[in-house]
């Protein structure tokens, strides 16, 4: 059945398609940056060009499906189905299947140099661990599935809760990013490790601290474990913390070229990952120097491929801590002639209902411009529930506002 399309050059077509083919078509078209109707059209054109019918497709559970095709295409397709002795339902199923076969899932783009995100702030309680975990999860989601993402590029709309344009509120289903991600729990408190359902490494065994101090007891890769959730496949791993990291600054004091200690420790595993995220402790000591050095721009590395991501809150004490942290980073830049890029600021735990303090602080962060605000994450219950359940937020509540915002953050700093 067809009816005119108000667009002028297409007509509405009502046919039948199984839910499986419809979902596969939706995902695959998105992966290739196409509208579903264009994919259906391409499939029909390819099917009509075949010399013989392809294998039959199971259409037993086909349901009503509507799309738009250029005027005349459906009439020609219907005539071909009649000539070939197949029903319209079978013909469209074969055409869609043919398009899927001709357009496989694209290869995930891998960075030329492993990306190194240093997630930091010397002030505790700002949510560095939650952002590290959520960002890593967003980067590792299934590239062959669609996930909801907030498509707005502007955060100023958060200041005008009642007057936000509708397009700033819109969600778009986009493919997961499919990156191979290593989360490094660099904080001796081990919150990242525990939040994701793992145990910290035992004292007296091997640890990242031992590898940084030049006293490794084995291979670092043997300490790394997978975050076992279906939506991340085997793409999301964590290097658990050990409480011996409380002594890291003391042990680094006697290490030659101590600022490069973290890099020396992680180099052996870098080829296994696209992105490595370092969840830094709330400290301005030698460990922070090592983390900053690790995030520097390497030879022939593109600007913004790696760098420092600073987590703040919309309140005054975060501004004081931010000043101390950036002073240390600038000293590192100057003393060692390093290029350390700022990936941006993430305003975490934001809640406009807290009134002027929150909204004016957010505006102050946005006024900085360099580094710019790249994400605003709300203070909502799902994150706390995920921590209690010891599960990744994006697996526990994949469609909640925080998950949506974290996916937007992942895309913002992956441009």
Quick check: is 107 in a domain? no
Angle between helices 73-84 and 88-102 (to 10 degrees): 110
Quick check: is 313 in a domain? yes
Distance CA(330)–CA(15), nearest Å, equals 63
Please tell me whether residues 96 and 137 are part of one structural domain. no
Please tell me whether residues 83 and 119 are part of one structural domain. no
SS3 letters across 384-413: HHHHHHCCCHHHHCCCCHHHHHHHHHHHHC
pLDDT the model gives residue 166:
46
What's the Cα-to-Cα distance from 203 to each of 19, 156, 189, 248, rounded to whole Å? 53, 47, 13, 13
Could you tell me which residues come within 8 angstroms of residue 89 by beta carbon, excluding any fewer than 6 positions away?
15, 16, 17, 59, 62
pLDDT the model gives residue 243:
92
Domain limit, last residue, from 40, 71, 102: 102
Structure tokens at 91: 């013909």
Question: Counting Cβ atoms within 10 Å, is residue 194 exposed (0-12), middle (13-18) or buried (19+)?
Answer: middle
Please tell me whether residues 277 and 361 are part of one structural domain. yes
pLDDT the model gives residue 323:
85
Residue whose tokens read 């801590």: 321
Domain count across the chain:
2
Please tell me whether residues 128 and 27 are part of one structural domain. no
Distance CA(141)–CA(229), nearest Å, equals 10
Three-state DSSP class for 34?
A: coil
CA dihedral 223, 116, 245, 387 (to 10 degrees): -80
Please tell me whether residues 120 and 14 are part of one structural domain. no
40: domain range?
2-102
Structure tokens at 274: 């696209």
- Facing residues of 118 across strands? 278, 308
Please tell me whether residues 79 and 122 are part of one structural domain. no
What's the Cα-to-Cα distance from 72 to each of 78, 85, 207, 226, rounded to whole Å? 10, 20, 67, 53
Please tell me whether residues 80 and 209 are part of one structural domain. no
Please tell me whether residues 263 and 389 are part of one structural domain. yes
Could you tell me which residues come within 8 angstroms of residue 46 by beta carbon, excluding any fewer than 6 positions away?
95, 98, 99, 102
Extract the residue ranges of the chain whose pLDDT is less than 50: 1-2, 6, 153-157, 159, 161-168
pLDDT the model gives residue 262:
97
Other CB atoms within 10 Å distance of the CB of residue 31 = 19
Quick check: is 303 in a domain? yes
Please tell me whether residues 95 and 226 are part of one structural domain. no
CATH at 305: 3.40.50.300
Quick check: is 180 in a domain? yes
Please tell me whether residues 90 and 201 are part of one structural domain. no
Distance CA(169)–CA(186), nearest Å, equals 35
Question: Counting Cβ atoms within 10 Å, is residue 270 exposed (0-12), middle (13-18) or buried (19+)?
Answer: middle
Distance CA(207)–CA(218), nearest Å, equals 9
pLDDT the model gives residue 151:
62
Residue pair 126/318 in contact (Cβ under 8 Å)? The answer is yes
Please tell me whether residues 136 and 245 are part of one structural domain. yes
pLDDT the model gives residue 169:
55
Domain limit, last residue, from 32, 67, 102: 102
pLDDT the model gives residue 8:
59
pLDDT the model gives residue 264:
97
The distance of Cα 321 from the centroid of its chain, to the nearest Å, equals 27
Domain limit, last residue, from 44, 79, 102: 102
Please tell me whether residues 335 and 214 are part of one structural domain. yes
Quick check: is 110 in a domain? no
Per-residue pLDDT of 136-166, as tens digits, reads: 999 999 998 889 987 654 444 454 544 444 4
pLDDT the model gives residue 162:
47
Quick check: is 46 in a domain? yes
- Facing residues of 307 across strands? 117
pLDDT the model gives residue 61:
93
Quick check: is 53 in a domain? yes
Quick check: is 109 in a domain? no
């Amino acid at each position: 059945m067809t009816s005119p399309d108000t667009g002028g050059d297409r007509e509405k077509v009502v046919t039948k398609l199984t839910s499986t083919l419809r979902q596969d078509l939706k995902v695959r078209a998105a992966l290739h940056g196409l509208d579903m109707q264009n994919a259906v059209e391409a499939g029909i054109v390819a099917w009509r060009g075949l010399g013989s019918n392809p294998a039959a497709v199971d259409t037993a559970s086909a349901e009503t499906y509507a799309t738009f095709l250029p005027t005349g295409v459906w009439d020609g397709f219907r005539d071909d189905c009649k000539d070939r002795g197949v029903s319209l339902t079978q013909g469209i199923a074969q055409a869609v299947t043919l398009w899927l076969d001709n357009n496989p899932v694209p290869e995930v783009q891998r960075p030329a140099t492993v990306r190194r995100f240093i997630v930091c702030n010397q002030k505790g309680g700002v949510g560095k661990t939650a952002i590290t975990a959520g960002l890593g999860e967003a980067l590792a989601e299934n590239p062959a599935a669609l996930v909801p993402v907030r498509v707005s590029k502007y955060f100023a709309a958060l200041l005008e809760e009642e007057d936000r344009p509708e397009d700033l509120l819109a969600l778009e289903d986009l493919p997961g990013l499919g990156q191979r991600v290593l989360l490094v729990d660099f904080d001796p408190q081990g919150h990242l490790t525990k939040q994701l359902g793992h145990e910290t490494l035992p004292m007296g065994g091997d640890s990242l601290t031992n590898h940084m101090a030049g006293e490794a007891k084995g291979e670092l890769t043997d300490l790394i474990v997978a975050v076992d959730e279906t939506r991340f496949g085997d793409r999301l791993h964590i290097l658990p913390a050990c409480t011996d990291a409380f002594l890291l600054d003391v042990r680094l004091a006697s290490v030659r070229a101590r600022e490069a200690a973290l890099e020396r420790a992680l180099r052996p595993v870098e080829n296994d990952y696209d992105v490595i995220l370092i969840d830094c402790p709330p400290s301005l000591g030698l460990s922070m120097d090592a983390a900053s050095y690790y995030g520097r721009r390497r030879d022939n590395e593109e600007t913004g491929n790696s760098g420092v991501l600073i987590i703040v809150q919309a309140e005054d004490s975060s501004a004081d801590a931010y000043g101390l942290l950036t002073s240390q980073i600038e000293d590192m830049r100057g003393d060692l002639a390093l290029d350390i890029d700022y990936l941006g600021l993430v305003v975490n735990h934001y809640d406009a209902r807290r009134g002027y303090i929150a909204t004016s602080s957010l505006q102050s962060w946005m006024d900085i411009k360099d580094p710019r605000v790249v994400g605003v994450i709300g203070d909502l219950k799902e994150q706390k529930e995920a921590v209690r359940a010891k599960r990744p937020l994006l697996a526990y509540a994949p469609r909640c506002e925080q998950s949506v915002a974290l996916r937007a953050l992942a895309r913002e700093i992956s441009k």
